[in-house]
Amino acid sequence: MSDSQLLIGPESLPALAELLRRPAVSQVLVVADANTARLCYPLLKPHLPENHELLELPAGEEYKTLATCETVWSHLTERHADRFAVVVNLGGGVVTDLGGFCAAVYKRGLRFVQVPTTLLAQVDASVGGKTGIDFLGFKNQLGVFQEPAGVFIEPAFLATLDPRQLKSGYAEVVKHWLIADAAAFETQRHQGLFVEDWTPVIRESVATKQRIVAADPLESGLRKVLNFGHTVGHALESYLLLQPGREVLHGEAIAAGMVCESWISHQKGLLSDLELDRIETFLFSIYDKIQFVTLETDAIAELALQDKKNSGTTINCTLLEGIGRARYDQPVTLAELADSLRYYHRL
């Protein structure tokens, strides 16, 4: 994370307090959604300067838009925020992505820190310097790479999550095992989602992502392995986001995407029958199957044409070359993506 701080555990919030007490900090704006303002802000508040402000946004992926950004930018402008202000993003992936994006472009860049409150944000969304928002129904269509001044991960926030949100974040942990840690996957597939202390899991998962990001900060090569499950997963998530009442959580869509992209890997001779079976068995032991009809598969697959990993009209996907090893920039066709969705539908 270059010169920025990353702390995990009870010492993280006191370290944030120390950062915000520095003389160079002129103002502190906390960006939260309706849920984190109610459930998480009381835990954070004692570590903030007295003159901070809280901006509460509506909760949900459907609000990860330019319109919500305008709310943040208007708030900063009305309060004459200068370039010595610090934005504290308190929330899951929507808040950390959107808040980081707003800070990165306001007056060509304010400092911001991430205080992730969901498992997904703690192991993935808040780490790595990606910021962004959805646009015209496409996931993270607008965004910039901008490292935060710090990421402060307090596992105690996970107690505020319902089981569905916790499982959603766990999908990104599983992804890290499948692309880079076969031994961890082999151990965890026998345990399933039975975790008493999340701190070691978070530390290991963050370390995996940090190693990959350090080798390729701007996603020109190796970092693309972190997109395993996301070509199909983002397409499925985007499609259902436009269908009122059918929305799924990010991790749920990524879990489905990992099944589909594992199947494509198997079809291309990269993944054995046994490995595919182990991945499917593990994922379906945790996640319910996402419901869609066969007639929708082509429309879902076509959304992958907007994927950021593509080169021109070539859809690039990350596939598994065995459990624990990944290949990026693997060309796939719309037909293969649609076939993978049909395969998933039949399981």
Catalytic positions: 108, 130, 172, 209, 219, 223, 227, 230, 234, 250
Closest CA to 64 of 97, 35, 89, 38: 97
SS3 of 201, please? Answer: helix
Counting Cβ atoms within 10 Å, is residue 249 exposed (0-12), middle (13-18) or buried (19+)?
buried
Closest CA to 180 of 217, 206, 218: 206
Q: Which residues contact 334 (CB under 8 A, 6 or more apart)?
A: 298, 301, 302, 304, 305, 315
Q: Which amino acid is present at 283?
A: L
Q: Determine how many CB atoms are found less than 10 A away from the CB of residue 83.
A: 11
Kindly state the DSSP code that residue 271 receives in the 8-state scheme.
S
C-alpha to C-alpha distance for 296 and 338, rounded to whole angstroms = 9
Counting Cβ atoms within 10 Å, is residue 68 exposed (0-12), middle (13-18) or buried (19+)?
buried
Distances in Å between the Cα of 62 and the Cα atoms of 111, 144, 238, 252, 305 are 26, 20, 10, 16, 21
Residue 258 CA from chain centroid, whole number: 15
Angle formed at CA 260 by CA 298 and CA 211, multiple of 5 degrees: 125
